Structure 1
Amino acid sequence: MIVVNGPADWKPLEIEPDGVEPSVLGLVEYLRGQADFGEVLTREKVVVFRGFNVPEQELEPVMDLLLPNRLSYLHGTSPRTKVGSNVYTSTEYPPEETISMHNELSYSHEWPSRLFFYCATAPATGGATPVVDGELWLASLDPEVREAYAGGLRYTQNLHDGLGLGRSWQEAFETDDQEVVESFLDGGEADWKWMPDGGLRITTQIRPSTLKHPVTGAEVWFNQSDQFHPASLGNDMAAELAQIMPPEELPQSVAFADGSPIPDEYVLQVRDRGLEAAVDVDWRQGDLMVVDNVAVGHGRRPFTGDRRVLVAMSG
C-alpha cells in the first residue's frame, strides 16, 4: 500500500523546471525520467507543473505521457466545448458563479481515474481551481449527514432532444445514435426511457456516496449530490424553476437510494464544507495540473477577464 500524506496537512505537489529547459521538450524529458508517474500521483493526489511554458498547440506529447488512456466526456452534465481529440473546455458557467467541489462523473457508472487541466489563458482575477482531499471532506461532515448518505443515491437526468433546459442527449453522449446511448446506459444498469418529445430520462441505479480508493484503500467522499440538488442551484432562474417544477422534471435531480428526498441543509453542508476544506490552485498561462479523480474533488472560483482552461481525462 502506498503511504500518502494525512488529509489535514495535504496540499498539491508543485513541480518547476529543475535541470531541464522550461519548455514542452523539458517537461517531456522530465516525465520520461519518472519511473512511475502513477505512483507519484497516487501519493500526492494532485500534481501541478509550473514554468514549463507549454503552448496549447504542443500539448499532445505531454498528454500522451500523463493520460495513457484518454476518454471522451460521455454522460457529462456540464456545458463544454470539444476542442480536440477528447480535449474539452472546462465547464462554461458564468464567471461570477462558483462551481462546487465534485469528482468528475461520479454519478455515472464509468468515471475517469485521472484528470488533466491546462491553462491556455489565465483570468485577470480569481478563477482558481480549488481541490479538496476526499478523506478530509468526508471527515468534515456531521455524523448525521454521513449516516444519512450511507445507503447511496439515485440521480435523475432529463436530456432534451435539441431544444430545452440543460444539455441534449446528443451533447451528453456525443452521438445522434440512440442505440449507442442505450448500450451505454444498459451497461450501467440505469433505468431510462425515451420521452414523447424525443428527450431522454435517465434514473441511475444506486450510486455510492463514498468510495474506497483502489490503491490506498482510503475512504473518500465521492458523489455529486449537491450539484444535482435544487437547494444548491446557483442562480435565481434555476431556483425559480425548482419551485415550479417537480424534481423529476428538472434537467437533473437527486434523492437517497430509497427515493426519499435529501434535506436541503444536508446538501448545503456538503457543498459548503467541501469548498471550505479546499486548497486553491491559482493559474498562470502554460500551467498544467493532473488530479487523482477518486482521491480529490475539484471546482472553480469566480473570476474576471478571460479564462481558458482545457480539460482531458483518462481511465
Structure 2
Amino acid sequence: MTRSQTWAPHEVRAAVGGGADELLTRIDELDGGLDAALVRERALVFRGFEVGTDELDRVLDRLLPHRLAYVHGNSPRTKVGGNVYTSTEYPPEFTISMHNEMSYAHVWPARLAFYCAIRPGGGGATPVLDAARWLAALDPEVREAFSGGVRYIQNLHDGYGLGKSWQDTFETAERGAVEDFLKGSGAEWDWQRDGSLRVESVRPATTRHPVTGAEVWFNQADQWHPAGLGDETAAELAAILPEDQLPQMVTFADGGRIPGEYVTQIRDRGLEAAVDVDWYQGDLLLIDNVLLAHGRRPFTGDRRVLVAMSD
C-alpha cells in the first residue's frame, strides 16, 4: 500500500501452506460470511495462498457465484477461460485511471475478482478508491454540472478501424443478438452504411449502493473524454477523426460539451485518493464494484492479472 490512508483493503493471509483449500477455508471463516465481509470491508485481499492457475476456477466459483461475460465492455481484453479475462490490455507505461467496471452500462457487475498469474517486474499495482470519497473530493461546481447525467457515444467498427468492433464488444457476430441486447438497455443505436454501429446511452453520474445506501461517483466520463487521454494522444486522435466519430465519446446528458478541466479534475483527484494494492504471484483481490473504483499503475517487465465479474 502507498500513502497514509484512513482505509485500506482487508488482508487475509495464508497461515498454513496456502493453496485453494486453505483459501476456501478462510473464506468460510470470514465474520458474517463473504457477502457481509465484502460490504463491510469494500475489498478483500487474499495473500500468500499462492493459488495456481489450475486452482483458480475453484476459488472463483466461491468468490463469484455467477460469473458474467464481458458483453458491452469497452476495454480491450482477451478471454482466457470460463468468463475469465485478461485485465485491460493497455501499454505498460501508462496509468489506467480510476473507474467502476461498466458504470456506463445499464447493468454492471456487483463484484470483481482479480488474480495475479505473473507478478509485475516493477510497479503495476491496482489502485482502489472509495467511490463515495471520490464524489466528495470533487468541487461542488463539477458535481452540480453532472447532476443531470452523461451521454456515452460509441462508434464500433465492423472489424477494421480504431477501437473495438461491435463483434468483440458484444461477443457475437449476429446483428439480431446485438439489437436484442440493446433493446433491453435503454440505448439508441444506428447501423451505419459501412457496417459499423453507433450506440448512444444516457446514464446517471452517481448511484447508491443497494445495501449501504451510500451515494458514489459512478461514471466513466474521464475515460471516454479526449481530455482524459492527455494532450498528445487527444491531438493525435483529433488529427485522424472528428470528435463525433471517435471510438468512444461522452457529453452531458443533453448533449452539452463537458469542459476538459472537469475531466482532468475527476481523473486526478481519483488517482490521488486511491490506495495501491501491490501484486505477488497467486494473490487475489475481491472488490465491491459500486463501493470501490479501481485502476492500474504503470509497470515494467511482465505482468499478467486476470479478472472475472459477478452479479
Give the secondary structure class of the aligned counterpart of 1:182: helix
Pick aligned residue for 1:98 from 95, 110, 116? 95
Uncovered stretches (5+) of structure 1, i.e. residues with no partner: 1-7
Q: How do residues 98-137 of structure 1 correspond to structure 2 at under 5 angstroms?
A: 98-137=95-134
- For residues 224 and 21 of structure 1, the distance between their equivalents in structure 2, rounded to whole angstroms, comes to 41
Contact 2:28-2:34 within 8 A present in 1 as well: no
Pick aligned residue for 1:302 from 298, 301, 305? 298
- The answer for the alignment partner of 2:38 in structure 1 is 41
Q: Is 2:141 the counterpart of 1:149?
A: no
Contact 2:227-2:234 within 8 A present in 1 as well: no
Deviation at residue 11 of structure 1 after TM alignment = 1.1
- For residues 244 and 234 of structure 2, the distance between their equivalents in structure 1, rounded to whole angstroms, comes to 14
Give the secondary structure class of the aligned counterpart of 1:48: strand
Which amino acid in structure 2 is aligned with residue 301 of structure 1? R
Q: Is 2:277 the counterpart of 1:281?
A: yes
Pick aligned residue for 1:85 from 66, 82, 97? 82
Deviation at residue 242 of structure 1 after TM alignment = 2.8
Deviation at residue 237 of structure 1 after TM alignment = 4.5
Contact 1:233-1:239 within 8 A present in 2 as well: no
- The answer for the alignment partner of 1:3 in structure 2 is none
TM superposition score normalised by structure 1: 0.95
Deviation at residue 123 of structure 1 after TM alignment = 0.8
Contact 2:11-2:45 within 8 A present in 1 as well: yes
Q: How do residues 128-207 of structure 1 correspond to structure 2 at under 5 angstroms?
A: 128-204=125-201, 206-207=202-203
- For residues 281 and 165 of structure 1, the distance between their equivalents in structure 2, rounded to whole angstroms, comes to 32
Moved more, 30-39 or 277-286: 30-39
Residue by residue over 1:102-140, the C-alpha shift from the partner in whole angstroms, topping out at 9 and shown as x without a partner, is: 000000111000000000001111000000000110010
Identity rate of aligned residues, in percent? 63
- The answer for the alignment partner of 1:255 in structure 2 is 251
Give the secondary structure class of the aligned counterpart of 1:165: coil
- For residues 59 and 112 of structure 1, the distance between their equivalents in structure 2, rounded to whole angstroms, comes to 19
Contact 2:131-2:218 within 8 A present in 1 as well: yes
Contact 1:97-1:234 within 8 A present in 2 as well: no
- For residues 230 and 42 of structure 2, the distance between their equivalents in structure 1, rounded to whole angstroms, comes to 28
- For residues 6 and 215 of structure 2, the distance between their equivalents in structure 1, rounded to whole angstroms, comes to 17
- For residues 59 and 49 of structure 1, the distance between their equivalents in structure 2, rounded to whole angstroms, comes to 13
Which amino acid in structure 2 is aligned with residue 184 of structure 1? F
- For residues 92 and 39 of structure 2, the distance between their equivalents in structure 1, rounded to whole angstroms, comes to 31
Uncovered stretches (5+) of structure 2, i.e. residues with no partner: none
Which amino acid in structure 1 is aligned with residue 209 of structure 2? H
Give the secondary structure class of the aligned counterpart of 2:203: coil
Pick aligned residue for 1:219 from 197, 212, 215? 215
Deviation at residue 23 of structure 1 after TM alignment = 1.4
C-alpha distance 199-263 of structure 1, shift in aligned 2 (>3 A): same
TM superposition score normalised by structure 2: 0.96
Q: May I ask how many residue pairs the two structures share in their alignment?
A: 306
